[in-house]
Homo-oligomer: A and B are copies of this chain.
């Protein structure tokens, strides 16, 4: 069940690492195929700005995807995301290994996913997020359900939510208001 706002804020406050699924979260879930296989991914410029704000405030970012695509690696590199886990069949095992590697507790990790395969990580992490288009069964396990569409601002919304919960949104915006 989606968390009461205060619970979601409390959970977001503890986040030191934020993971995002790719298809259906950083994109709208469309897979673009040419005669050579998957050819394109459509990311949101606004999501990119949000992730950069969050990283600048000291939260580590990671991508965790069941599929694998060079377009994702390029976009991640451009955004300065160095934790990119693609082609992951068992997301729970990858999540546990990443936490161990970074010496973090699950409560310090947030994850945004939209599918059944994301449930094991959504149920283990401290701050579980889903886009509004996710199946009901997935949304039930999210502490925060974004109003903006996946691939069209849902990730930006989560980044701003975490920044606000941590009292760092105003500071992040200040630089642009001088």
Contact = CB atoms under 8 A, between A and B. Distances in A.
Interface in A105-151: 114-117, 119-120, 123, 133, 135, 137, 151
A43 B156 CA distance: 23
Interface string A19-42: 000011000111111110101111
A70 B35 contact: yes
A44 interface: yes
Given A71-B33, A74-B33, A151-B30, A24 B46 contact: yes
Of listed A23, A34, A37, A120, residue having the most chain B CB within 10 A: A34
Given A117-B49, A119-B177, A176-B119, A32 B42 contact: yes
Contact of A33 (B33, B67, B75): B75
Contact of A176 (B30, B33, B117): B117
Contacts of A39: 34-35, 40
Of listed A45, A53, A152, residue having the most chain B CB within 10 A: A45
Task: Please classify how large the interface on chain A is, using the bins under 10, 10 to 19, 20 to 34, 35 or more.
Answer: 35 or more
A176 B71 CA distance: 28
A54 to B, nearest CB: 13
Interface of A: 23-24, 28-35, 37, 39-46, 48-49, 53, 67, 69-72, 74-75, 114-117, 119-120, 123, 133, 135, 137, 151-153, 173, 176-178
15 contacts: A24-B46, A29-B44, A29-B152, A30-B44, A30-B45, A30-B151, A31-B43, A31-B48, A31-B75, A32-B42, A33-B41, A33-B42, A35-B69, A39-B40, A46-B115
